[in-house]
């Protein structure tokens, strides 16, 4: 396989930017992710590729639940903040206020435009990131999009001309 | 769960547009899909949500391989063409010329901007679409993007102001 062709073709896949959060016992994990897709309407399922050696992965695996917080245009700072390990201080994670999701307890970032709470339905342990299948069990919209929802989300290409995570 | 909040939040996920193809024996399947994400760098894995009662799904399941053909900006007509069941006539599928992928035999659409061939690594049979995990084993770039690859792909929002597949 030609490595450049693999990189270019896989980088054609467009991505939004999300903060994945999870709470297990007293431990809270949060990490910026982009490998996300819906995979079923009924039940509503999503798939997230989560770095297998990350703290957020360990916590979601233990707790069996997580939240995906959708960032909006202009929230690059939030995205970059969660590239680093999460630091929890009261009701703040890495400087962002949160509250516990009502169904799962997973942190809902109050500044995210929308959030979904998910119960882990299955994990496929293949690759350097594992494939987490989540059933959406609750949804919050903090800021209704004015136009198309998929035009309101922060995208990978908004993070910088040469920023990619894929390929 | 509030149904409108679920719809709005899930519709924030941005999608590219792909033609999924597969060949099993003499049968060829092809269908427009959008639920796609990479999930691992090493090995390179992708996940595709594929309608469980579709012909393309039956064929990829039998053959154990498939191709994802990335459409480019302006190729709305190709996308809409593969909403209907595929019709094969010689080296044409639904009017689009193809050749067999060299590793898997899955049809590579010659007018697609790029294509990846995948071997099925696992299928999670949950939901109305099943979760097909594919290992990328070959990649072709027919038309190199001039800027970012993820700015060159045809997107869901390019199909019409009110066209969505998700939520």
Span A111-140, average pLDDT: 98
Widest distance between CA atoms in chain A: 49
Q: Is B160 on the interface with A (CB under 8 A)?
A: no
Mean pLDDT of chain A: 97
Span B85-114, average pLDDT: 96
Q: Is B142 on the interface with A (CB under 8 A)?
A: no
Helix (H, G, I), strand (E, B) or coil at B167: coil
Span B113-124, average pLDDT: 98
Q: What's the CA gap between A130 and B75, in Å, rounded? A: 33
Q: What's the CA gap between B133 and B38, in Å, rounded? A: 9
Q: What is the DSSP string of A55-89?
A: HHHHHHHHHSEEEEEE-BTT-HHHHHHTTSPP-EE
The pLDDT, as a whole number, for residue B78 is: 98
Q: Tell me the count of A-B CB pairs closer than 8 A.
A: 223
Structure tokens at B22: 């597969």
Confidence of residue A119 (pLDDT cuts 50, 70, 90): very high
Instruction: Tell me how far apart the terminal alpha carbons of chain A are, to the nearest angstrom.
Output: 13
Mean pLDDT of chain B: 97
Cis amide linkage into residue B98, ω under 30° from 0: no
Residues 6+ apart with CB under 8 A from B95: B81
Span A12-34, average pLDDT: 97
Q: Is A41 on the interface with B (CB under 8 A)?
A: yes
The pLDDT, as a whole number, for residue A97 is: 98
Cα Rg of chain B, angstroms:
15
* Percent of chain A residues topping a pLDDT of 70: 100
Q: Is B49 on the interface with A (CB under 8 A)?
A: yes
Residues of A in contact with B131 (CB under 8 A): 39, 45, 47, 124, 131, 133
Q: Could you report the per-residue pLDDT of B41-76, keeping only the tens digit for each?
A: 999 999 999 999 999 999 999 999 999 999 999 999
Q: Is B89 on the interface with A (CB under 8 A)?
A: no
Q: What's the CA gap between B106 and B32, in Å, rounded? A: 15
Among B3, B10, B20, B36, the residue to mutate for chain A (most A Cβ within 10 A): B10
The pLDDT, as a whole number, for residue A33 is: 98
- Which burial class, exposed, middle or buried, applies to A105 when counting CB atoms under 10 A from its CB (0-12, 13-18, 19+)? middle
Residues of B in contact with A138 (CB under 8 A): 1
Q: Is A44 on the interface with B (CB under 8 A)?
A: yes
Span B27-44, average pLDDT: 98
The pLDDT, as a whole number, for residue A86 is: 92
Per DSSP, helices labelled H in chain B are: 3-10, 55-63, 76-81, 149-152
Shortest CA gap A70–chain B (Å): 7
Q: What's the CA gap between A14 and B154, in Å, rounded? A: 10
Q: Could you report the per-residue pLDDT of A42-71, keeping only the tens digit for each?
A: 999 999 999 999 999 999 999 999 999 999
Residues of A in contact with B109 (CB under 8 A): none
Residues of A in contact with B37 (CB under 8 A): 13, 15, 35-37, 47, 49
Chain B 50-69, CB below 8 Å of chain A: which residues?
A: none
Q: What's the CA gap between B39 and B47, in Å, rounded? A: 7
Span A6-27, average pLDDT: 97
Q: Could you report the per-residue pLDDT of B9-26, keeping only the tens digit for each?
A: 999 999 999 999 999 999
Chain B 97-126, CB below 8 Å of chain A: which residues?
A: 113-116, 121-122, 124, 126
Q: What's the CA gap between A156 and A152, in Å, rounded? A: 13
Contact A150 B157 (CB under 8 A): yes
Confidence of residue A161 (pLDDT cuts 50, 70, 90): very high
- Closest partner CB to A16 (pick from B13, B144, B148): B13
Q: Which of B18, B1, B13 is nearest to B66 (CA)?
A: B18
The pLDDT, as a whole number, for residue B53 is: 96
The pLDDT, as a whole number, for residue A48 is: 98
């Amino acid at each position: 396989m030609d490595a450049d062709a693999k990189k270019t073709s896989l980088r054609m896949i467009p991505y939004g930017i999300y903060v994945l959060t999870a709470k297990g016992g007293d431990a809270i994990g949060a990490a910026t992710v982009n490998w996300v897709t819906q995979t079923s309407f009924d039940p509503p399922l999503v798939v997230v590729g989560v770095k297998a050696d990350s703290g957020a992965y360990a916590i979601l695996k233990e707790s069996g639940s997580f939240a995906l917080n959708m960032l909006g245009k202009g929230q690059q700072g939030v995205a970059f903040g969660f590239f680093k390990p999460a630091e929890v201080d009261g009701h703040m994670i890495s400087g962002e206020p949160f509250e516990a999701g009502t169904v799962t307890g997973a942190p809902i970032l109050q500044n995210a435009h929308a959030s979904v709470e998910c119960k882990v339905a299955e994990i496929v342990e293949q690759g350097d990131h594992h494939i987490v299948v989540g059933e959406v069990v609750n949804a919050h919209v903090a800021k209704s999009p004015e136009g198309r929802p998929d035009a309101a989300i922060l995208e990978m290409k908004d993070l910088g001309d040469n920023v990619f995570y894929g390929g």
